[in-house]
Amino acid sequence: GAGFTPTIVTYNCMLVACSKARRPDLSRLWLSRIRASETPADLTSFNQVIAAHARADSTQGALGWIEKLRQAGLSPDAFSFLPLVEAEAEAGRDEDALRWLERMQEGGVTCDSEVLNIMYSRLVTVCGQEGRLRDAARWFERLGETGIAFDARSYFAMMQCCAKAGNVDGAMELFQRMEDSGLKPDVEIYGCMINACAQAE
């Protein structure tokens, strides 16, 4: 309407939509609109453009935008690299995904336990959506190998994979591991367990 001035939140919502649609061309268009406005692009803006390229299987395009992010005076974070890791995991190229994680760490990007749980749970979910339960389980256990404690998000992601595959025993084992670790199941976890039982029938 008249007098409406888009904020960076508005622009970033459009960039998220472009990223999910795997449309790097549209993401570049919206970033150019941000630059033409009086609102400076932020880290989220650049990360969504990077994600759009990675999801469209344009690794070089994603890397180019990581460099442009730096040129804009910003520093890449874990979510700048996560789309590249996810794209490799989705394609079943786990070794390449691991190399991106290593490259991220070599670049000085640090991750706390919450961010690592977010990253690995996303990788678990990506594999689960493709029906690759074994690959999902490998990513889940790799998180444990980092020395970081699993949080409810990671357990939930792996339980969902088991539920989708009708592996009720695997879901039950995860539920027990979660309780033994001191984490309390919430309504989503219980819902996931009910779904696992239903899928197994």
Q: Which residues contact 167 (CB under 8 A, 6 or more apart)?
A: 133, 196, 200
Phi-psi region of 167 (alpha: psi -120 to 50; beta: other; left: phi over 0): beta
pLDDT of residue 2: 54
Strand, coil or helix: what is 163?
helix
* Nearest of 128, 107, 106, 124 to residue 116 by alpha carbon: 124
DSSP conformation class of 92: T
- pLDDT for res 199: 76
What per-residue confidence (pLDDT) applies to 91? 86
CATH code for residues 1-110: 1.25.40.10
Cβ-proximal residues to 28 (8 Å cutoff; 6+ apart), any chain: 49
In the chain, domain spans:
1-110, 113-201
pLDDT by residue (tens digit) across 40-62? Answer: 999 999 999 999 999 999 999 99
**Residues 76, 45: Cα–Cα separation, whole Å:** 12
pLDDT of residue 201: 66
Helix (H) or strand (E) holding 187: helix 187-200
113-201 and 1-110 share a CATH fold:
yes
Which CATH homologous superfamily contains domain 113-201? Tetratricopeptide repeat domain (1.25.40.10)
Consecutive 10-residue averages of pLDDT for the chain (201 residues): 79 97 97 92 97 95 95 94 91 88 87 90 91 93 92 95 92 95 93 86 66
pLDDT score, position 90: 86
pLDDT at residue 1, as a whole number:
47
